[in-house]
């Protein structure tokens, strides 16, 4: 699993859980919250911890947020601060911005701000979000149940030029390929003779943790 540098802004229960899950996956994690007690709870687990306001540009720059590969805004109770922080992150040109939303309307506003990924905690657990952010090639996922997810993933390098029957994903990982997107073409219910190509997008049914075993 490739190591990335993450920033988690806002250390409520969701933000703390995301930061901890990312650390458990061996990632570099910078956290920031204006509440010193919340920072103190997690400071020994993460790479760097800062006490500061995520709507303050100087505080964000001091924490080097602009150079992190992924920034997660994990606080949504104060919608004004959430939106201002998201806007500031866009102005700082962060590479990937993930923001927790409180409602569908809140999510629509974040989308208009150009947020890359909007998270609804009642749908997206901190564990699932950490998996999605750290597993290589995963473009999107939808949780079907506690055991199964539908995942959209770029074809892993080890799959390229191999037939599905030779990959034996069902037996090895309990994963089924539902469809393959190949440019403008969609291959529905591909059979075992289908060969995976380098630019293929795989739509798969399985467990996101299991897919981490072959995503790199």
pLDDT tens sequence across 118-141: 888 765 677 778 877 777 777 777
pLDDT tens sequence across 61-74: 999 999 999 999 99
Q: Are 91 and 115 in contact (CB under 8 A)?
A: no
pLDDT exceeds cutoff 60 at 3: yes
Q: Are 42 and 31 in contact (CB under 8 A)?
A: yes
Mean pLDDT of the chain: 88
Among 3.40.50.10540, 3.80.10.10, 3.40.190.10, 3.40.50.720, name the CATH number for the domain at 5-134: 3.40.50.720
- The packing angle between helices 126-134 and 13-24, to 10°, is 40
Average pLDDT over residues 183-197: 92
99: which strand partners?
73, 118
The H-assigned helical ranges of the chain are 13-24, 36-42, 57-62, 79-91, 104-112, 126-134, 164-167, 169-173, 208-215
Do 5-134 and 138-215 come out as alike in CATH topology?
Answer: no
pTM to 2 decimal places: 0.69
7: which strand partners?
30, 71
Instruction: List the domain boundaries for the chain.
Output: 5-134, 138-215
Which of 36 and 138 is assigned the larger pLDDT?
36
Range in 131-140, 179-188, 197-206 with the lowest mean pLDDT: 131-140
Q: Using 50, 70 and 90 to split pLDDT, how confident is the model at 146?
A: low
Among 34-43, 135-144, 168-177, the range with the most confident prediction by mean pLDDT is 34-43
Radius of gyration of the chain (CA): 19
pLDDT exceeds cutoff 60 at 1: no
- For 163-190, b where at least 16 C-beta lie within 10 A, e where not — what string? ebeebebeeebebebeebebeeeeeeeb
Beta strands 176-182 and 185-188: pairing type? antiparallel
CA distance 49 to 29: 9
pLDDT exceeds cutoff 70 at 7: yes
CATH class entry, domain 138-215? alpha beta
Among 35-44, 96-105, 125-134, the range with the most confident prediction by mean pLDDT is 35-44
Q: 47, exposed or middle or buried, with CB in 10 Å at 0-12, 13-18, 19+?
A: middle
pLDDT tens sequence across 75-89: 988 999 999 999 999
Please, which residues have CB within 8 angstroms of residue 152's CB and are 6 or more apart in sequence?
Answer: 138, 139, 140, 141, 201, 202, 203
């Amino acid at each position: 699993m490739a190591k990335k540098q993450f920033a988690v802004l806002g250390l409520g229960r969701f933000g703390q859980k995301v930061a901890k899950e990312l650390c458990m996956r061996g990632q570099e994690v910078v956290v920031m919250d204006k509440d010193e007690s919340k920072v103190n709870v997690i400071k020994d687990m993460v790479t760097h911890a800062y006490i500061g306001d995520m709507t303050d540009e100087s505080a964000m720059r001091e924490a080097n947020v602009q150079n992190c590969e992924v920034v997660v805004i994990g606080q949504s109770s104060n919608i004004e601060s959430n939106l201002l922080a998201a806007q500031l992150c866009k102005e700082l040109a962060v590479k990937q911005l993930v923001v927790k939303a409180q409602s569908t309307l809140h999510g629509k506003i974040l989308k208009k701000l150009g947020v890359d990924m909007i998270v609804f905690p009642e749908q997206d657990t901190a564990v699932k979000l950490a998996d999605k952010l750290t597993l290589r090639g995963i473009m999107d996922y939808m949780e079907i149940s506690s055991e199964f997810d539908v995942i959209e993933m770029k074809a892993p390098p080890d799959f390229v030029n191999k037939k599905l029957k030779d990959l034996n994903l069902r037996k090895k990982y309990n994963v089924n390929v539902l469809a393959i997107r190949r440019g403008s073409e969609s291959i529905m219910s591909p059979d075992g003779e289908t060969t995976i190509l380098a630019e293929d997008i795989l739509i798969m049914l399985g467990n996101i943790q299991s897919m981490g075993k072959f995503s790199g």
